[in-house]
């Protein structure tokens, strides 16, 4: 299974995938890593000799034009699957429908609870006693597409947002690698989830 991974941040989930794919027995390969900014996470790709591309929205007149260029960079590599691993921008419908259902996102809450960019903070603020990791197919909304898989985590009372996010990310890294493996092995068919 060939992948293009999009990141905006530190790329620890990307690093977990790159480490997994480094094992010749793992049934997936990262073809390229893209970002909407010169993200820290791109360094992980460079360490593995994986090509990178950065397409910054500020350099385009419209969001649509930005997304077209981003899409053509993705499609250039002909991936079987696109993985959003901490990619912090909403992609327009046209981008999503060109790839759907072969585009998945990783989110640090039990969707549909706490969508958006502050999922961990929002879960704490709401006094949630459990949270976790969700992997879902991307649609045109914000963290709204069909859920493929979730892992649950108990929220320790008094934990800080940063500590909780780190705990969730530990789960996410393992979760992402195992879902990519299941998709690659044909055990999980994205087409079955529709849109």
Give contact residues for ligand GRF (rule: CB under 6 A): 7, 9-14, 41, 85-86, 106-108, 169, 172
Minimal CA–CA distance to 94: which of 121, 65, 123? 65
Tell whether residue 194 is among the known ligand binding residues.
no
Q: What are phi and psi of 191, to 5 degrees?
A: -60, -30
Give the nearest distance from C-beta 120 to ligand GRF in angstroms: 8
- Tell me if residue 151 falls in helix, strand or coil: strand
Q: Which is nearer to ligand GRF, 68 or 149 (CB)?
A: 149
Smallest distance, ligand GRF to C-beta of residue 98, A = 21
Rounded Cα–Cα distance for residues 158 and 139 (Å): 35
Q: How far apart are CA 135 and CA 165, in angstroms?
A: 16
The answer to whether 107 is a known catalytic residue is yes
- Closer to ligand GRF by CB, 13 or 131: give it: 13
Identity of the residue, 106 or 110, whose beta carbon is nearer to ligand GRF in the bound complex: 106
- CA neighbours closer than 13 Å in the CB half-sphere of residue 178: 13
Q: Is 63 annotated as a binding residue?
A: yes
**Candidates 44, 65, 77, 107; catalytic one:** 107
105 a known binding residue? Answer: yes
Element (H, E) at 70: helix 63-76
Closest residue to bound ligand GRF by CB: 86
- Residue 141 or 189 with smaller CB distance to ligand GRF: 141
Instruction: Please report, for residues 134, 139, 165, 185, the alpha-carbon distance to residue 77 in angstroms, rounded to integers and kept in the order given.
Output: 26, 21, 32, 21
Least distance CB 41 / ligand GRF (angstroms) = 5
C-alpha dist (Å) from residue 111 to 38, 107, 135: 29, 8, 9
Write the burial class of residue 189 (CB in 10 Å: 0-12 exposed, 13-18 middle, 19+ buried). Answer: exposed
Least separation, in Å, of the C-beta of 186 and ligand GRF? 25
Instruction: Show binding-site residues for (6R)-10-formyltetrahydrofolate.
Output: 63, 105
Annotated binding-site positions: 11-13, 63, 105
Report the catalytic residues: 107
């Amino acid at each position: 299974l060939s992948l293009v991974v999009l990141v905006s941040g530190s790329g620890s989930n990307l690093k977990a995938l790159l480490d997994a794919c480094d094992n010749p027995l793992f049934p997936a390969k990262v073809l390229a890593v893209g970002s909407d900014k010169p993200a820290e996470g791109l360094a992980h790709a460079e360490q593995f000799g994986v090509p990178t591309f950065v397409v910054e929205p500020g350099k385009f007149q419209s969001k649509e034009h930005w997304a077209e260029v981003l899409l053509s960079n993705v499609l250039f590599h002909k991936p079987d699957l696109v993985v959003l691993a901490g990619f912090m921008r909403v992609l327009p419908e046209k981008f999503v429908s060109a790839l759907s259902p072969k585009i998945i996102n990783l989110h640090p809450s039990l969707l549909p609870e706490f969508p958006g960019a502050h999922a961990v903070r929002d879960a704490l603020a709401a006094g949630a006693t459990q949270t976790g990791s969700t992997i879902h197919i991307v649609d045109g909304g914000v963290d709204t597409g069909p859920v493929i898989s979730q892992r649950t985590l108990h929220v320790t009372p008094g934990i800080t947002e940063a500590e909780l996010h780190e705990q969730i990310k530990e789960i996410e890294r393992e979760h992402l690698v195992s879902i990519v493996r299941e998709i690659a092995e044909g055990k999980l068919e994205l087409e079955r989830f529709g849109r």
